[in-house]
Structure 1
């Protein structure tokens, strides 16, 4: 555990990743409800895609999607690379410069915040800096619009990345994940018997707590993790991973914000993303005229 703070969105990023459309595994009704579909990627699929675009030697440790589900971003395992490989649904693969040791991008590909390990601080474009408390977490939503940071125990502060000093405090809450849609921000804790969600709304008057929702663990409390892996804010679907120690399998569940129903959808073997389309397939079948240049390991 890092003593100076933890990037909340990267804990499972070394799990890699791969293509399996869950709609073919009993999720067809979910697919029809929203523009985003649920894909699962394995490490071998990512590696195959990297080979086909001339990046076979690229070593990575984070794979994340962007806010609108049209990109997968692959982050190099070395901070010295100072770039991220972006795979786009239009088939193009490009590299984008980053800042600091851990960068966060918006949907346009601009760096909106970064973490500096030397200063142990989360820094924004206006040079506002926050230092999470010793065991505090921090993160930015996948569209790069809102962030959270834990400056003290059992308190989560949330704000807009373009006005980071406008903080809203939520007491007795320790966020691990953040998603945003319009003026709504969804913050999730990591669960034991349940996962708690705080829904925060921004208006001209500032921020307010719009709702608090509890997502029970289907099998009851356990000493292993139970956490949110992704969320499709367009439809209100939340993907959760219920982790068990081997030899017992871990499972994925879909929770529907609208109906409050939770449904088991299969074994959690790799890592899943809500995407607008099959990004890996689009990149693999697109003729790359100018293959991306990535730093070798």
Structure 2
């Protein structure tokens, strides 16, 4: 779905973007292409789904292509406004879809380009742990928080995007900021430290080193699995280091296929990719607090793994 939607946007912009003489692009296409990665990032942070974010971009392009550019003072702000409104509409639909989802719903992991990790604030905002925190906000709170805290839009711009007054947006931003602050990971962890911990985690799982795994996991660690009813996964959160460690080691031991665990850069952070007989099976992201793993997020639903086929560029 992601590749199809992305293809529709590219094909449509290509058709509209070439003149009869061939080659030159029109102003609408140039503006859309220039801000495309930004618009995708806005939509993805609001939705947690690359497939839905691509569909939002398609809807944004269709509305943008029919806009009188002479009346647009700031193409970037105008495009962000369209994208936000479309993402809000889809976020409410997505909420109803999650109510019937089988097991835990996790954000769709993305294989990200190296430059995402270099922007610490952006990487933090798209981390699996933060995306799950954003899931606890209302749709409007999420839109306001993302636009203000991640993209640094002013309150007047956000007000136009979400259809609220600037005063109401300020109150919503304050409420959302406090809500997120109480739930976000405690302190940034350097990527090298995360990679070292993941290497130790991988070795412990592969060798069946239970004590080694317990040394890395926080006592109150939580494992969430997302199989979407398509692949087997834990249906409820598994809590506690001993339970999680035994489940991880036992699950790997039961596999009859050739299993490999490889490092990858997912959502701007080091993560692990599990392959069975060379085929992508699971993306494992983690949350760190105070030097230990407090959250493990295992995405197995194959419909959510399309973002791992190629690197995705995210920008603010």
TM-score (norm 2): 0.27
Between Structure 1 and Structure 2, the one with more strand by share is 1
Answer with 1 or 2: which has the greater Rg: 2
TM-score (norm 1): 0.28
Between Structure 1 and Structure 2, the one with more helix by share is 2
